[in-house]
Amino acid sequence: MAYWIDNEWNLHKKILNFCQVFNHMGETIGQIIENYLLEWRIDKLLTVTIDNASSNNMIISHLKNVMKD
């Protein structure tokens, strides 16, 4: 889900995408998120919310590496 405030200070929110994840490994989830960020040409993130506690560190680590390149 994406949230943003427009020039008139109205809050907007949109669901960006749903997709099937074939395994819940951090590297897999991180790669899927990376692919969509590249597709949508998003190169800056403020926050990421992940609900997969056992893989959170791997996902965030993956995204940090991708976003700094």
Judge residue 25's burial from the number of C-beta atoms within 10 Å of its C-beta, 0-12 exposed, 13-18 middle, 19 or more buried.
middle
pLDDT score at 69: 59
Percent of the chain with pLDDT over 90: 14
| Element housing 32 (H / E) | helix 26-39
pLDDT, tens digit, 9 for 90 and up, residues 26-41: 888 889 888 988 898 8
Over residues 14-21, the mean pLDDT reads: 86
The sign of the dihedral angle between the CA atoms of 57, 58, 63, 68 is positive
pTM: 0.69
